[in-house]
Structure 1
Amino acid sequence: MFALRWVKEIGSGISFRKIIRNDYSAIRQLSGEKKVQNHPEEGQSYFESEKKLSIFKVFATKRNTYLELHKYNPMTISSERISEWKESRKREAEISRQRYIKERHAILGSDLATAHFVVYRDGKIKFKNSDNWIEKHPDEDECPELPNKYVRNLYLEAIDSSNTLIRYEGLENFINLKHLKWLSFKNCIHVDDWFVDRLSGELKETLEYLDLSNCHNLTKNCISCFYRFKKLKTLVLQNVVKNKDFEFSCMLLEDACPHVFVDNRIIVYL
């Protein structure tokens, strides 16, 4: 299509460079290319910015999500394979839901953006100089107690993400939290040694209390990560691992860091 028109236009005296430039501009317009606004407006609401996007674009992954049936051999399809495929899709959806959203942090600031991430994923938070824990009611779509615009001097002091589906990828949202002292991931099934390693790198300067009870994917290897926390006072590892190597590693941690109390009891609930 373009080649035939180029021959006619060159014959009429139009330069080839001008023809290419005009066609490139036309292709950009057809492809829907738009300029991205790097700096949001001051006082912009995070929820207002989200409403401008299609709900399908907000939660969509970058990969195509349709099932390519031509890649599957009917002779190899079984109930186990279908179950594996469902679990894989579920995992991808969870990771996508916990992804870092640059616009959220740009509009709300690091502390409030992390608060939104935690509260809207079944956790609860507490701000500095406040005694009230903020959490979203299961029957409500929004949390009215949580500001949706940037608030100066509003800092996160405590996060309770117990019993949530937080993953390694979700920790990318826990950044620049300079006042966070208390943190719990109790009963989180996806917490493992790699999770703790990333956590210790991000929150080593301020954290004083950490609860990882009933996180059964942890091993003795995670103990080496706790040496990084400079202000840690209480480390709760109840019902994590029951073996001598893990207990010995906890004893070494307390000897090396006398200011840290490690609670690694195995509690049997009757």
Structure 2
Amino acid sequence: MSAPFMSLYRCCQRSALLVVSRRSLSSVSPPSSVSPPSSVSPPSSVSPPSSVSPPSSVSPPSSVSPPPLHTRFLLYLTQRFYDVEMLQSWSFLQRWKRVQKRNTYYSYVQKNYGSDIAAAYYILSLKGRFRFVGQSEWFITDRRGKFNGDFLDHKNTPLEEVNMNYTGINYRGLDNLEVQKSLRTLSLRGCPEVNDWFLARLHMFEDSLEELDISHCPRITTGGLAALRNLKGLKRLDVSSLPGISSPGVVIILLEEMLPKCDVTANGYDHTLREES
């Protein structure tokens, strides 16, 4: 191909490329302008809630007949049983504390006046009575439990007879009488706190005690009477009307064998021997 023709060919080729490039550029449309966001309409006003209609009147329940009286009483006891039990426990505890306080050992009286005056003061504080050795006068309290101080004039004089019938003496109170080695008579009729432990401590009077009355004491049992075998000097023993004794006929026979020199009095029993089932 000649040089002029080649020049013409290149010129036409360039022109064609230029036209094609222009067409391609014109076919691409420019980006459209972004329209601003439309104005947001304000929220519509919230309509107030509709008025709530009042509830319809409740019809009263039909009348029901009350349960019987005994049923209501049982329900009441069921609901109050715990309170009653606690009240009984509290009452028993308070009573036990009072008994223990009354039977405390009067050490301050013993230090200032001696053991004999301390024993006398303890007996009078429980509304008991006593008599000193060699004296015929009995020292007792009045109906209000008051007593005078005349017994203070008998310092270092031991006690010979003591009557504590229907008083609150217990085994702890025997500490106040422990040194009374001349005590010959001790009466404990109807004392609610005299029990088997009390009888077991009476061995402290084994050399002097001659008469003992433990009748009508509700807490004495057959096992406690066995402790009386230590009182070898007993001449009279009253065990009448002891509700805690089973087979009283057999028990009395055993007492007479343990204390052969003692006159045993046992009234208020059915002395017939019964076969135990």
* TM-score normalised over the length of structure 1: 0.65
Cα deviation for residue 107 of structure 1 reads 2.1
Tell me the equivalent position of 1:221: 223
State the shift of 1:164 in Å: 0.4
* Aligned match of 2:155: 151
Tell whether 2:149 aligns with 1:166: no
* 2:236 corresponding residue in structure 1: 234
Distance (whole Å) between structure 2 residues aligned to residue 113 and residue 257 of structure 1: 32
Shift of 1:205: 1.4
1:188 is the counterpart of 2:191: yes
Unmatched 5+ stretches in structure 2: 1-79, 271-277
Q: CA deviation at 1:264?
A: 1.2
- Matching residue of 2:109: 104
Deviation at 1:222, TM superposition (A): 1.8
Q: Counterpart of 1:176?
A: 179
Task: Give 1:141 deviation, angstroms.
Answer: 3.8
Secondary structure of 1:78's counterpart equals helix
Percent identity between the two aligned chains: 25
Residue aligned with 2:151, SS:
coil
Could you tell me whether the CA contact under 8 Å between 1:122 and 1:164 is conserved in 2? Answer: yes
In structure 1, give the amino acid aligned to 2:183. Answer: L
Higher RCO (CA < 8 A, seq sep 6+): 1
Mapped partners of 1:181, 1:150: distance in 2: 18
Whole-angstrom CA distance in 2 between matches of 1:255 and 1:118: 33
1:267–1:125 Cα change, 3 Å: farther
Q: Conserved in 2, the CA contact under 8 Å of 1:112 and 1:156?
A: no
Of structures 1 and 2, the larger Rg is shown by: 2
Q: What is the alpha-carbon distance in structure 1 between the residues aligned to residue 195 and residue 188 of structure 2? A: 11
Kindly state the Cα deviation for residue 252 of structure 1 after the two structures are TM-superposed. 2.1
Aligned to 1:89: 94
Structure 1 residues 133 and 245: alpha-carbon distance in aligned structure 2, compared to 1, 3 A threshold = same
Partner of 2:128: 123
> How well do the aligned residues superpose, as a CA RMSD in angstroms?
2.3
Question: Aligned partners of 1:112 and 1:267: how far apart in 2?
Answer: 39
When residues 94 and 230 of structure 1 are mapped into structure 2, their CA distance, relative to the original with a 3 A threshold, is same
Q: TM-score, length-normalised on structure 2?
A: 0.63
Q: Distance in 2 between matches of 1:242 and 1:76?
A: 29
Q: For residues 7-156 of structure 1, what are the structure 2 equivalents within 5 Å?
A: 78-139=83-144, 141-147=146-152, 151-152=155-156, 154-156=157-159
Deviation for aligned residue 1:97: 2.4
Check whether the contact 2:219–2:244 (CA below 8 A) recurs between aligned residues. no
1:115-148 CA-to-partner distances (Å, cap 9, x unmatched) read 110012110001111122111213464423321x
Unaligned runs of 5+ in 1: 1-74
